[in-house]
Amino acid sequence: MQVFGLLGNPVEHSLSPPMHEAAYAELGLDARYVTFEPSPDDLAAAVHGADALGVAGLNVTIPFKQDVLSLVEPDDLAARVGAVNTVDFAGDAPTGHNTDAAGVRRSFSHHDVALADRDAVVVGAGGAGRAAAFALADAGASVSVANRTVETAAALAADVGDAASAHGLDALPDLVPDADVLVNATSVGMEADESPVPATALHADLAVLDAVYAPLETRLLRDAADAGATTIDGAWMLLFQGVEAFELWTGLDAPVAAMNAALRERL
């Protein structure tokens, strides 16, 4: 039996176990997906211990995504994003990957939204914002990063390079009307029925991905739908980061429909 898992703290409400176990059931794989909740002081021991015990792969979530970077060999994307959310133990040394970026890219491609040569706006510059900005820039988009703390947006834009620029949230009324693609990578919309983007800036030629998945239907997505925009909820990003991890670990095409159904059943 192969063992996969999630390393984080806390992990009890994670949707990754049912999503991955649905994939194993669909394909008849002899595998389990379990959660591990080490204390931060034990992170290195946990990763080395998982490797020694023959764990095949780990997802990594808050608060360990940055700290795991130094415990594995990160691929180019994970190193640039500065965070690892997937560890693969198949080789001589554990490798680290960032499938949140693939989650953004594949959410758009699943909805037939092209990214090459498009103007994208990423609102937020934390973990999700970094993954989104690199995903969009690597796919050929020009990326405007708008963040409450403009210094964090500037640091992200500098890391991304020539394809990115940095702004405060006050630039959104000017940026969004000319954009093709918008990602909300802030937590705004989770706690209260609020949107980080003025509704008047949204338009019918825009595709909007909201990384927030609780609730699924955020104020931003409602406003975007009212404006005639294409809307993509945060469960798609969550799904496709898991799909990408599954495919990386197993080398198989993921059963996307079964994983999506398991996820949405619980949201």
Give dist(CA 156, CA 131) in Å, integer: 10
* Nearest distance, CB of residue 184 and ligand NAP, angstroms: 8
Q: Is 234 in the site for ligand NAP (CB under 6 A)?
A: yes
Give dist(CA 47, CA 101) in Å, integer: 22
First to last CA, the chain: 29
Residue with Cβ nearer ligand NAP (50 or 232): 232
Whether 241 sits among the annotated catalytic residues: the reply is no
Interface with ligand NAP (CB under 6 A), residue from 69, 212, 221, 263: 212
CA distances from 140 to 78, 134, 137, 228 (A): 18, 10, 5, 25
DSSP letters for 53-88: HT--EEEE-TTSTTGGGGGSEE-HHHHHHT---EEE
Q: Is 187 in the site for ligand NAP (CB under 6 A)?
A: yes
Give dist(CA 170, CA 103) in Å, integer: 27
Q: Which of 20, 65, 97, 118 is catalytic?
A: 65
* Nearest distance, CB of residue 130 and ligand NAP, angstroms: 7
Q: Is 200 in the site for ligand NAP (CB under 6 A)?
A: no
Give dist(CA 236, CA 124) in Å, integer: 18
Range in contact with ligand NAP (rule: CB under 6 A) among 34-42, 148-156, 222-230, 258-266: 148-156
Residue with Cβ nearer ligand NAP (38 or 126): 126
Q: Is 6 in the site for ligand NAP (CB under 6 A)?
A: no
Give dist(CA 93, CA 85) in Å, integer: 16
In the complex, the residues that contact ligand NAP under the rule CB under 6 A are 100, 103, 124-129, 147-149, 152, 185-188, 190, 196, 211-213, 234, 237-238, 241
Active-site positions read 65
